[in-house]
Structure 1
Amino acid sequence: MAGYPYRTLFMWSATLALVWLVLCSPWSPGWNMVLAVLVVVVALVAIVIATQRTRARREATRHVLSAIDTALSSLPADVKRNTPLVLTVSDAERHPTDGSDHTHGVLDDAFGADRVRITDAAVWVRWDDPARLMHLADALKRWRDGQGPDAVAYLIAADKVDSQAILAAGLKRWRSAIGEASRAVGYALPVCVGVYAEEAHAAADGCPWFGVSGGSSLQIGTLPALIASRTAQYTQFAIPMEREPRAHRSARLDALTRWTCSAILPAMTDTQRNSQPSHIAAFGVTAIEGRQTPGSLYGQFVSSITGLTLPTVAGARRVCPLPEPLIRGIPHQPARQALPRAFAHGFLCLAACFCAAAAASAWQNRALVERVTTDMARYKAIAPAQDAARIDALKSVKHDRDELERYASSGVPPRLGLGLYRGAPLLPLVNTLIASYQPPAPPPSTIELDSLSLFRTGSAVLNPGSNRVLVGALEMIKTHSDKRVLVAGHTDSVGIPDRNLKLSEARAASVRDWLADASGIPSTHFAIQGYGDTRPKAANDTEAGRAANRRVEITLVPDCRDDRATQGHPACSFE
C-alpha cells in the first residue's frame, strides 16, 4: 500500500529550513544554531507522530482489509478499481427481542456476521466506529492505489429511533466522522442516506427504494414532493388487489420522507455547525418486514400529522436491503495518486524556501548598502583638521572596501546573491573616497625667534612687548599638545664663550617659563638647551650674521613615552 509520504515531506521541509539557516539567514550564528536545533526537534516529533498514526491506522483496519482481500480473492484483479466501494455505517438501536436488552442495528440485518458484502452495484464495507472512520477511508485509498471510497451509506431504521437526544448525538458523531474521513482522503465523500420503515408483510412484494441520487448535493426542500410523485406512480400501476396496501405504504413512505427531511437531513447539512456539512448525494426510503413502533420519533410524527395512533403490528425478523439503486447514481471516484500531490507539496516547500531566501537576501543587501553609505557619509562629515577621527572613520571605509573586493574576486555568498547583490556599484565609490584622503600638513618642526625682539642685550629677562612674538609658538604648542617642546638659546660670538653659553640657557628658560604658564602645560613637558655661540647660522664677522645667530629656537619632538613616535627618530634626544 502506497500512501502519502508524510515522513519524507517532513524531512524535506526540515532539510530546506536547515539549508536556509546555514546559507541565507540574516541572524547571528547563535540564533541560527538555536533555530536549527528547534527545526530538528520539530521534524523528529512530526515523524514520530506520523509513524504512530500509521501504525494505529494499520492496526485499526487490518481485519477489514483482510476481510476485503478474502472476499475479492476469487474476482478479477481490477475489481478494486471498477467496482464502487461504499462504507456502510449506522447507529445501533437498542430493543428487546427475547426479554433481554441488547444492541442490535441495521448493519446486523444488512450484513449478518460479515464485514464485507459484494453485490452487483458495489462492494459494501461495514464500519461501526465513528472515531476510526478516517483511518478506514485512508487505508482503503491506499489499498486501492489512490482510489478512495466512492460513498458512505448512512442507514437508519426509523421505527427504532425513540430518543431525540440519541438521534442528535448520533448524527453529530457520524457527521464529524465523515468530515474527518473526507479530509483524510482529500475529497468530500458523497453520502447516501437510506431510511427504513417497518411494516407487516412488507416482504411479500419486495418494496423497492424510492429516492434520488446524483453527483451534486440534493435540495432537501424538493425531496418530499419528488418521492411522493414516485410512490403515487408505484400505487397507480399496481393491480387492483394490491392497490390499497400500496396506497397505505405510499402514505407511510411519504410521511417517512417528510420526517427524515425535517429531523435528519438538516442536521447533516447545516453549515452553521462546527463540523463540515455532509455532501448528501443520494437519499431514499423503503419499507421492510418488521414491527411498527408508535412510540418512536417517526411514529409520533405520523400521529401528529394524521391524528391517529398507529397500532403495534408484530412482524417477522427484518432483513434490511442495501440501497443499491441509490449507489448507482453516484459518480465513480477517480484515482488520486499520493505521489504527485506529495511532489507538488514538496515543490511548494521549495518555492517557499526560495522566497524566504530571496527576502533574506534583499534585506541583507539593503543592510550592506546602508552600512557602507553610512560609513562613507560619516567620513565625509569629519573636518580635515580632525585627522584622528578621520583616520578612525577611514578604517571602517577600508573594511567595507575589503569586504566588497572579496565578494568581487571570490564570489557573492548566497545570503547576498540570488541576483539581488547591490554592492558592486559601491566599490568604485569607496575606492575613490579612500584615494582622496590627504593627511594634514605636518607642523613646522622649528619656530625661530629673534633674541633682540625678546631680550635686551646681555639680559635674559623678557621684554614687556615680547608676548606678541611668542603667540605663534604658543598656538603651535597647543595644537600639538602630544609633542614635547625643546627650547634652545643661541648667541653670537661677541663676548666670553662661557658667559654666552649661560646667557643662551637662561634665555631658553625664560621662554620656557612663559610658554608653560601661558599654555597650562606642565613645565616637565618642556626641555631647555643653551648652545651659546657653538651653532651659528651665519658668519659672525658681519652685523647681519651676528644678528642671525642671536636667536631662540622652539622645536616639537615626539614624546619618548608615546608608542606612536616616528620610527628611527630619537624621540627624547635634544642634541
Structure 2
Amino acid sequence: MSAYPYRLQILWITLLVLTWLGYCSPWSGERNLLLGAVMVLVTAASLIGITRRARTRRRTTARILTEVNGTLRTLPSGLKRHTPLVITVGDPNAMSGAWGDDIVRITDAAIWVRCDMPVTLMHVADALKRWRNGQGPDAVALLIAADQGNADTLAAAAWKPWRSAIGAASRAVGYTLPACLAVYAQTPWGKGECPWFGTSGSVPLDAHALPDFLTSRLQRYALAASPAEPESRGLRFALLDALVRWSSKALWPLWADGRSPLHVMAFGVTVVPGVPVSGAPFGCFVAQLTGLTGASTKGRASPRYPLPDALLAGMPRQPIRRAWPRALAHAVMALTVFFGAGTVASADQNRTLMKRLADNLARYQAIPSTQDAVRLDALALIKHDRDELEHYANAGVPMRLDFGLYRGSLWVPIVDRVIADYRPPAAPPSMIELNSMSMFNTGSAVLNPGSNRALVGVLEMIKSHPDKRVLIAGHTDSVGSPDANLKLSLARAAAVRDWLIDASGLSATRFAIQGYGDTRPRASNDIEAGRALNRRVEITLIPDCRDDGSDSTKGHPACS
C-alpha cells in the first residue's frame, strides 16, 4: 500500500465513535443521537472532500504520469526506484531554457519532472510517490536565470507561491522535500560547456559560508586554464564568483525567511554562452563589483541550460515510506483511544450503579417497621435492582458497564438477603374485647380510674392503622329490662369513644358506636360465668365506607 487510506481511516474512526456513543456513552439517548448525526455529517463531508481532491490529483497529473510511463517503458523496471527523482520548478526563463517543450527527462543522474504551476506541485509530488510505491521525490530543483529577469522576477512576492507550494508538497508526501538551488548566467566570453560549481549535503547549507568556500574552488578552475584560454577562463571566474556572491545576498533571503524556510541542501552556479539582458539586477551587480559589462541584445534566442545533475551527488535519497504501517499505527491509536474513553465511561456508570444500590438499601433500612407501606415502596426499588443484576448475570454485562470494571455480582447476595429478611407486620386483631366489669361499675356508664391501662393499648392499635375507622360496640347481660340494657350498652360505647378522642386528638368522624344490649350474648345468661362474658365492650377496625366524604354526626352507626 503506497497511498495512505484516508477514507478507510475516517470510516474506522467513525465506526469507533458511533460504537462508543451507542454502547458506552453515559449521556442521554437524545444527546448520543445528536452527536452521532453530527459525526455522520462530518464523515460524509470529509469523504466528499477527499474524493474531490483525488479526482483533482488524477486530472492534474494524468499527463505527467503518462509521459513518465512512456519514457521509462523501454528501461528496466527497477529504474524508477533506484534512480533519483527530482521535480524542477523555477522562473519562466530558466524553465524554458532547460526544458523547452519537454515534461519528463532522464539523465545519467536522475529522472527529472517538470512543474510549471505552484498549485499543481502538491498533486505532482503525491502522484509521483504513489507511482514509485511509497518512495517520494528526492528533491525539488529551483532553476533561476540570474541575468535574464528583472527586479520584479526576483522579488519575494514572486517566489512566495512557490515556497508555499513546496511546503504543501512536503505535507502531502509526509516529509520535508530537500531543495536544490541552481543559478544560471549567460556570458559572451568563452565558448564550450562550463561545469557546475557548488556543494550539496544531507543538512541545510549555510549561505554565509558559501562565497568563501566556492571562491577557492573557482580559483583552482581559473589557474587550471590551458594556454589557449587564460583570458576567457579568468573572465568566467570573475563572473561565477560574482554570481555566487550575488546569490547569497539576493536569492537566499527569498527562501530562508518566513515561518517555514526551505531546506536548501544543494547549491550551484554555472554559465552558458549567451548574451545577458540589460538592466537585470545581476548585471548591475557584476558591473559594480568587477566593472565587466556584456553586450546587450534583447530578443536573441535563449541558450540551452543544462540540468544540475552534478548537484545531486551529495543529497540523500528518500527511503520507501509504506503507508500501511503508519495507517495501522493510527488505527491502533484510534482503538486505544476508544478503549480509554470506554473505560472512563464504564468507571463512571459503574460508580453510579453502585451508588444507586447502596442508596436504595440504606433508604430501605432506615424506614421503621411500623411504616410498612413506605417500606414496600423502597423494597420494590431493591427488587428492581435485583432483577437488573440477575439480567446482567444471565444475558451478559453490557459494554457500558464492562471493560473489567463491573462489580454488580458482589451485590447480588446482599440484595437477596435483604429481600429474604423482609417480614410483613403482624395483622392487627380484628377486634379487642374489653371487660365491662373492670371498666364500669354495675349499672354505670362512667369509666373507672383503672380502665386507662386497657384503653392505652387500644389507642396504639388505632394510631397504627390511620386508614381504618373504629367501631365501638357495647353489650350487657339479660339482667334488667331490654330497653335499659340497650341504653346502658350504647352509653358505655360512647364513654369509651369519648376517652379515645380526648386522649388521641383524632377526629370524631373516625369513630362509630353501637349498643346491642343483651341481644348478642356470647354465653348463657343462666349462670354467672356466662353473664360475665356477655358484659363487654368490643372495639373493631373497619374500612372507611363513606362515599361523600362528609363528616358523620356523633353516634352514626358503623358500616355493616
Q: Compare 329-338 and 362-371 and name the one that shifted more.
A: 329-338
CA distance in 1, matches of 2:136, 2:460: 96
Letter in 2 for 1:357: G
Aligned equivalent of 2:206 = 219
The alpha-carbon distance between structure 1 residues 546 and 176, as it changes in their structure 2 partners (threshold 3 A), is same
Aligned equivalent of 1:375 = 360
Aligned equivalent of 1:438 = 423
The alpha-carbon distance between structure 1 residues 524 and 325, as it changes in their structure 2 partners (threshold 3 A), is same
1:289 matches 2:273: yes
1:198 matches 2:183: no
Q: Compare 252-261 and 320-329 and name the one that shifted more.
A: 252-261
CA distance in 2, matches of 1:264, 1:454: 125
Instruction: Answer whether contact 2:472 2:513 (CA < 8 A) is retained.
Output: yes
CA distance in 1, matches of 2:98, 2:475: 133
Aligned equivalent of 1:89 = 89
Q: Compare 184-193 and 66-75 and name the one that shifted more.
A: 66-75
What is the deviation of 1:178?
0.8
Aligned equivalent of 1:66 = 66
Matched residue pairs, number? Answer: 549
CA distance in 1, matches of 2:363, 2:153: 78
Determine which of 135, 139, 148 is the counterpart of 1:160: 148
CA distance in 2, matches of 1:369, 1:282: 68
Letter in 1 for 2:245: R
CA distance in 1, matches of 2:119, 2:167: 11
Instruction: Answer whether contact 1:199 1:313 (CA < 8 A) is retained.
Output: no
CA distance in 2, matches of 1:205, 1:390: 110
CA distance in 2, matches of 1:469, 1:69: 115
The alpha-carbon distance between structure 1 residues 303 and 538, as it changes in their structure 2 partners (threshold 3 A), is farther
Query: 3-state SS of the aligned residue for 1:370?
Result: helix
Letter in 1 for 2:408: G
Query: 3-state SS of the aligned residue for 2:243?
Result: helix
Query: 3-state SS of the aligned residue for 1:160?
Result: coil
Aligned equivalent of 1:19 = 19
Letter in 1 for 2:137: P
1:392 matches 2:377: yes
Instruction: Answer whether contact 1:161 1:167 (CA < 8 A) is retained.
Output: no
Aligned equivalent of 1:134 = 122
Matched ranges for 1:343-362 at <5 A: 343-362=328-347
What is the deviation of 1:138?
0.9
Instruction: Answer whether contact 2:187 2:272 (CA < 8 A) is retained.
Output: yes
The alpha-carbon distance between structure 1 residues 165 and 73, as it changes in their structure 2 partners (threshold 3 A), is closer
CA distance in 2, matches of 1:519, 1:429: 41
The C-alpha deviation readout for 1:69-122, integer Å capped at 9, x for no partner, is 222222222222222211000123xxxxxxxxxxxx211110111111111111
Q: Compare 180-189 and 358-367 and name the one that shifted more.
A: 358-367
Aligned equivalent of 1:51 = 51
Aligned equivalent of 1:147 = 135
Letter in 2 for 1:68: V
Instruction: Answer whether contact 2:346 2:405 (CA < 8 A) is retained.
Output: yes
Query: 3-state SS of the aligned residue for 1:31?
Result: helix
Instruction: Answer whether contact 1:2 1:145 (CA < 8 A) is retained.
Output: yes
Query: 3-state SS of the aligned residue for 1:221?
Result: coil
Determine which of 363, 370, 373 is the counterpart of 2:348: 363
Instruction: Answer whether contact 1:361 1:415 (CA < 8 A) is retained.
Output: yes
CA distance in 2, matches of 1:137, 1:300: 37
What is the deviation of 1:330?
2.0
CA distance in 2, matches of 1:417, 1:561: 56
Instruction: Answer whether contact 2:474 2:493 (CA < 8 A) is retained.
Output: yes
The alpha-carbon distance between structure 1 residues 64 and 461, as it changes in their structure 2 partners (threshold 3 A), is same
1:114 matches 2:102: yes
What is the deviation of 1:558?
3.6
What is the deviation of 1:214?
2.1
Aligned equivalent of 1:320 = 305
Q: Compare 149-158 and 22-31 and name the one that shifted more.
A: 22-31
What is the deviation of 1:384?
3.3
CA distance in 2, matches of 1:380, 1:161: 94
Query: 3-state SS of the aligned residue for 2:195?
Result: coil
Aligned equivalent of 1:279 = 263
Instruction: Answer whether contact 1:453 1:469 (CA < 8 A) is retained.
Output: no
The C-alpha deviation readout for 1:507-537, integer Å capped at 9, x for no partner, is 2234334544654544443232323234556
Query: 3-state SS of the aligned residue for 2:370?
Result: coil
CA distance in 1, matches of 2:246, 2:369: 97
Q: Compare 361-370 and 446-455 and name the one that shifted more.
A: 446-455
Query: 3-state SS of the aligned residue for 2:408?
Result: coil
Aligned equivalent of 2:219 = 232
TM-score normalised by length of structure 1: 0.87
The C-alpha deviation readout for 1:387-414, integer Å capped at 9, x for no partner, is 3333222222221111111111221112
CA distance in 2, matches of 1:219, 1:248: 27
Instruction: Answer whether contact 1:171 1:264 (CA < 8 A) is retained.
Output: no
CA distance in 1, matches of 2:406, 2:245: 71
Query: RMSD over aligned Cα, in angstroms?
Result: 3.0
Instruction: Answer whether contact 2:514 2:558 (CA < 8 A) is retained.
Output: no
Query: 3-state SS of the aligned residue for 1:197?
Result: strand
Letter in 2 for 1:216: V
Aligned equivalent of 2:554 = none
Instruction: Answer whether contact 1:289 1:316 (CA < 8 A) is retained.
Output: no
1:255 matches 2:253: no
Query: 3-state SS of the aligned residue for 2:229?
Result: helix
Aligned equivalent of 2:552 = none
The C-alpha deviation readout for 1:461-495, integer Å capped at 9, x for no partner, is 55688767645433432332211111111223322
Letter in 1 for 2:18: L
Letter in 2 for 1:35: L
Query: 3-state SS of the aligned residue for 1:159?
Result: coil
Letter in 1 for 2:459: L
Instruction: Answer whether contact 2:189 2:235 (CA < 8 A) is retained.
Output: no
Query: 3-state SS of the aligned residue for 2:378?
Result: helix
What is the deviation of 1:255?
2.7
What is the deviation of 1:278?
1.8
Query: 3-state SS of the aligned residue for 1:220?
Result: coil
CA distance in 2, matches of 1:263, 1:543: 140
The alpha-carbon distance between structure 1 residues 260 and 371, as it changes in their structure 2 partners (threshold 3 A), is farther
CA distance in 2, matches of 1:263, 1:532: 132
Q: Compare 502-511 and 415-424 and name the one that shifted more.
A: 502-511
1:499 matches 2:484: yes
Instruction: Answer whether contact 1:294 1:309 (CA < 8 A) is retained.
Output: no
Instruction: Answer whether contact 2:203 2:265 (CA < 8 A) is retained.
Output: yes
CA distance in 1, matches of 2:424, 2:10: 61
Question: Where do 5+ consecutive residues of structure 2 fail to align?
Answer: 548-556
What is the deviation of 1:300?
4.2
The C-alpha deviation readout for 1:268-324, integer Å capped at 9, x for no partner, is 234xx24x33222211111122333563333444456x3847455448632211100
The alpha-carbon distance between structure 1 residues 111 and 452, as it changes in their structure 2 partners (threshold 3 A), is same
CA distance in 2, matches of 1:240, 1:226: 26
Aligned equivalent of 1:477 = 462
Instruction: Answer whether contact 1:213 1:283 (CA < 8 A) is retained.
Output: yes
Aligned equivalent of 2:317 = 332
Instruction: Answer whether contact 1:133 1:181 (CA < 8 A) is retained.
Output: yes
CA distance in 1, matches of 2:416, 2:272: 96
Q: Compare 20-29 and 1-10 and name the one that shifted more.
A: 1-10
Aligned equivalent of 2:436 = 451
CA distance in 2, matches of 1:165, 1:194: 16
The alpha-carbon distance between structure 1 residues 544 and 114, as it changes in their structure 2 partners (threshold 3 A), is same
Letter in 1 for 2:341: A
CA distance in 1, matches of 2:217, 2:450: 135
